[in-house]
Amino acid sequence: MVASWVQFGLYTLLVPLFQYIAVEATGRRVTGVLAGASEQAVLAELEARRLTPVELAERGDSVGAGGFGGRVPIRALGESYQQIADMLAAGVPLMRALRLLGSMKSRPKLAALYRALAEEVEKGNELAEAMSKTPRVFAPVHVAMVRAGEKGGFLEQVLARMATLVVRQAALRSRLVDAMIYPAILMVVGLVVGLVIFAVFVPKFREVFTKTGGELPLVTKLVFAMSDAVTTYWMITLGVLIAAALGWVVALRRPDVREWWEGRKVRLPLLGGLIRGYATARFCQLLGSMLANGVPMLAALSIARDGTGNVLMTRAVDEATESVRQGKSLAEPLLASGLVGEDVIEMIRVGEAANNLDEVLIKVGETVEARLDRMLGVAVKLIEPLMLLALALTVGTVAAGLILPMTQMGNMMGK
């Protein structure tokens, strides 16, 4: 008995431990630790247990932490997937393709990443295994799709589809950022103008009104209070703002608060439609791409849920996963969530009935993206006049607060 325990202790000391996150055939996520001589041995053990690995790292390297020191632009990553797919289609071996990308001079971070992948593949690891070691760069959905492509012998098609998916997402994000540049400039200009008014001009008028005496109008008192907040009590004001921001960030880490906040955002008149559309587009593109590349439905749902970027959509996908597990439709739980439009639901129903759900989901993602472009254009056109109106109201309030006392003073002098 003692000898067996000694052998077990020596085994755990000499053989490395691997921490894993995997998906069962039912779609349920499981985590655990396995001992193995190599990653390949652990992956073989997980496959024998009918588990689809999502992340795998040797104990000591936290799963999800990633081993690559710098982030890579998402568009550059998508373009690199397309380059590998093109080289594979031309007959270039995978190892050679990775080495070529690792020798790029224009993108040193991306080159360093692919050099590390090439070294792992040269050791005998599969590409998906090597990618799973840098989850900060390669999302679990990318690793799962590459793993399916390697097992099914269609890695070239998987990489090409991933390239389209990643570049499209990068383009959507870029359009969102570009559309918000002008409103952000207006906001900064408005803040600067407000600070100058309340910190420079308002105090000068206050000296005049203090000398004359008399009761000041309510709007004037409000203007002077705002002036005090940015001049005399600026440290207290700054501290309150920082405390409020930190408190809000901490509160959002609580699931109930975050879900409440997401629920409020999706009900906003125009912004809510953009949020719902973005979550729908990401979910449809991720799920459709994984299904098209041989990932089982339940495993694909479990992985796609984390890529939606929305807590409410994640909960809706969980309910849809349970529905599919029971042999029911994917569309009904998504419809009940209120996040997915009825036209999209109808297309999903047609795809389920025709057994071409992967193609339908990818097409839906493209359609929703085109709709988002139009909605974004309308939103930007509305934001600009609203911000100008807010700036005008601020200036008007200050003007009213300063002119009313002067009018009162003129009336008193006239009498």
The answer to whether residue 166 is domain-embedded is no
Q: Which amino acid type is present at position 109? A: K
**Do 395 and 325 sit in the same domain of this protein?**
yes
User: Rounded mean pLDDT of 373-396?
Assistant: 80
> Is the separation of the CB atoms in 161 and 365 below 8 Å?
no
> Is the separation of the CB atoms in 400 and 199 below 8 Å?
no
Of 19-23, 124-128, 281-285, 383-387, the one with minimum mean pLDDT is 19-23
The answer to whether residue 123 is domain-embedded is yes
For 120-161, the pLDDT digits (tens) are 888 888 888 888 888 778 877 788 778 877 877 778 888 888
The answer to whether residue 27 is domain-embedded is yes
**Do 34 and 99 sit in the same domain of this protein?**
no
Q: Tell me which of 32 and 326 has the higher pLDDT.
A: 326
Q: Tell me which of 286 and 64 has the higher pLDDT.
A: 286
**Do 118 and 186 sit in the same domain of this protein?**
no
Q: What's 253's DSSP letter?
A: T
**Do 296 and 187 sit in the same domain of this protein?**
yes
Mean pLDDT value across the chain: 78
For 42-86, the pLDDT digits (tens) are 776 777 777 777 666 665 433 333 333 346 788 888 888 999 989
For residue 376, what is the domain's CATH number? 1.20.81.30
**Do 113 and 238 sit in the same domain of this protein?**
no
**Do 192 and 238 sit in the same domain of this protein?**
yes
**Do 232 and 271 sit in the same domain of this protein?**
yes
Among 160, 192, 227, the domain boundary falls at 160
CB atoms under 10 Å from CB of 139, counted, come to: 18
**Do 11 and 142 sit in the same domain of this protein?**
no
The answer to whether residue 406 is domain-embedded is yes
CB neighbour class for 265 (10 Å; exposed up to 12, middle 13-18, buried from 19): middle
The answer to whether residue 168 is domain-embedded is no
The answer to whether residue 167 is domain-embedded is no
φ and ψ at residue 30, rounded to 5 degrees: -135, 150
Split into its structural domains, the chain has a count of 3
pLDDT, position 367: 86
Q: Write out the residue range of the structural domain in which residue 291 sits.
A: 180-415
The answer to whether residue 171 is domain-embedded is no
**Do 130 and 20 sit in the same domain of this protein?**
no
**Do 148 and 229 sit in the same domain of this protein?**
no
**Do 253 and 362 sit in the same domain of this protein?**
yes
Q: Hunting for tokens 């499209």 — which residue is that?
A: 168
pLDDT(408) > 80: no
The answer to whether residue 165 is domain-embedded is no
**Do 139 and 222 sit in the same domain of this protein?**
no
